[in-house]
Structure 1
Amino acid sequence: MRTAEIAAIAEITEVTVTPVAFPDPPLLNSAGVHQPWALRTIVELRCGDGLVGLGETYGDAPHLALLRAAGPALVGLDPYDTHGLLRRIRAVLGDADTPDRHGLTGGSSPQKTTLRVLSPFEVACLDLQGQLAGRPVVDLLGGRVRDRVPYAAYLFYKWAGSDPYGEALDPDGLVAQARAMVETYGFRSIKLKGGVRPPGEEIEAVRALRDAFPEHPLRLDPNQAWSVETSVKVAARTAGLLEYLEDPTPGIPGMAEVARSASMPLATNMVVVGPGDIPEGFGRRAAGVVLADHHYWGGLRKSAELAAVCGMFGVGVSMHSNSHLGISLAAMTHLGASLPELAYAADTHTPWQCGVDVLTEPLEITDGSVAVPDRPGLGVRLDPDALARLHENYLRCGVRERDDTAYMRTFDPSYEKRRPRW
């Protein structure tokens, strides 16, 4: 192929940004409860010769507006020019900042907002790069260090809903939920979203899970619902039970104080959430594990850079999850396969989506892990009919921004989001 023909193919010709909505169970957390509809945005970058690169990100209205503003600026960009991608997005966004209402991924800033917008476009560019080169994305990230990426069962206190898992408001309900997930997906690690019940009850839930699953590493994540004093007590009472304790208390200073006496590592996706948090967070030893999330760290390559920095400081690496679809699962799997530093099974909400997806062939979780796709790019393809159905859900559902606290108040008008609560 002549150089001019290659150049003609390697140019973004169209950017499509499509918000979607899909049913979400009533999952409880320290901010409130999930609304009946989860929002995501699907990004498509078209690039000559019928090639399409895919990305996935949040669907909240302020974030969606920034995606739509940035999209037109990417037309004409070479998908290999990811430095140019960042420059164009910065030029459009300036100092824009779009904090989320639930606050479950830490504080916001203009830098973090830019990286959130960059991420789905960077993933879509990597998808195109892989298709143009005939190689899977994992090869573009340095090659695979594992053929399968492990994921953890993600348990929630929850009300009864239309999902197959039923109510889980006590240890027995959580153990039943865990059994269903382990039997269906073969998970070999288990995480409990805490910060919902008083700490003593959540400790009893951890003990019940340990009795039921003696070989499974366990994690507990109260999303900063506890004071430093309470966190220290819980850490002492769960010594020998937890693989790690995630974000027990607010702020780097508080986390550092708890970490000094805790026998298990403290993990975070709420206090080390951007490059500027690394010096203090690692310097004060506030976190022994960082849950990388490419959706707000700026994509796959910047997440790989984060993992390398974690390795230099002796900090472990896992991956964070929010309600997501198959494009995000594919991106996480390529990333996880390329990271030597990945020491813990990654989070995923995939079981809670109950089979709903926008892909023609969603990736499968078997034996608690996902096989790395061998096909070029992300190795997944968009189902246009499914995308249209989920977009129609978005148009009809009326939800435009995730707000777990406001939705909880429709059931309990006196409810307040407090961190710490206990």
Structure 2
Amino acid sequence: MAEKVIVAGVGLVPFSKPGASEPYPVMAAKAVHAALADAGGLAYAKIEQAFVGYVYGDSTAGQRALYEVGMTGIPVVNVNNNCSTGSTALYLANAAIASGQAECVLALGFEQMNRGAIGSQFNDRPSPFDRFDEATQALVGHSEVPLALRYFGGAGQAHMQQYGTRLETFAKIRAKASRHASKNPVALFRDVITAEDVMNSPAVWPGVMTRLMACPPTCGAGAAILCTEAFAKRHGINAGVRIKAQAMTTDTTATFEARDMREVVGFTMAKNAAKKVYEAAGVGPKDIQVVELHDCFAQNELISYESLGLCPEGGAEKFVEDGDNTYGGRYVVNPSGGLLSKGHPLGATGLAQCTELVQQLRGQAGARQVDGARLALQHNLGLGGACVVTLYEAV
């Protein structure tokens, strides 16, 4: 039997704009120290393995970051899976505990980003996105628009064309994110904005996306410590939250063969991961109270409602209009403010989502608290591609 995996401690540093953050080793060390403190003051020497995620950084930056905490000789595995990097580190840590390979493991993610749109760092070799770019060019064109905006804007446009979804619906999602973030002290953007503000922001793709529908480049760090039940008991650790089920998926042939921008940005990949998690846990979407999903663009939040089974395919606009994505509705989606308002430091995003959901299930989320939260779903997506879906349970 697999070991039950307890989330022993979580830690996060406030996110900041590029150029305004501390260096990545400082941010990472602070996140780890916060997670150790959250785990009842656990000593770093008790950590047996570490999986460290970042996207933009040199090799062994994971060691450089952790050496600020301690040099104990443990295995340190550096992880890069694009925007799903943080959750990929968490996935590996979870597997190490569940398999019995270790009793206490650290997952750490950080990012020290530059200003402006993200892009390739190695232009003398094939890009991992070349097939994605070719598909996007064939489906939507608009080569003058930055690629990430074309990917997700094109997916939103496909939803608009098939279901009549209005641009204002994406604006309402962004406004909702701001209301949630206003109650989160570690969010990057805490000012409340309206759907009208979003609609009136500069158009980056007229009729398809405005600037405020996109998440900002962000710096930050997050950490989670996982352990067995026996380890938690021996060290007096709060064992109130565990990982009930988790799955990682990558692209299928549908990504390019379906000729649908929603597939290019991982609709089936996310749907498959969610299905695996629901089946493994013996629950359905209706059993969940709170969700942190990958809203790198407002368009992707809407599409993810459907891929995760929170509403029927084609039903996302009604889902938004009915308020089923916020307090008082069927689910509370991204109570942290999500990537849109909390920020998106690529390697740290998955650990930030984990931190929010663990705090929710412990009843420690303060003004953001979701009443009666017992099951929490996390969705972290990286194009190229990988998707990690994790279900947490309060026990």
Scaled by the length of structure 2, the TM-score of the pair is 0.29
Structure number with larger C-alpha Rg: 1
The structure with higher relative contact order (CA 8 Å, sep 6+) is 2
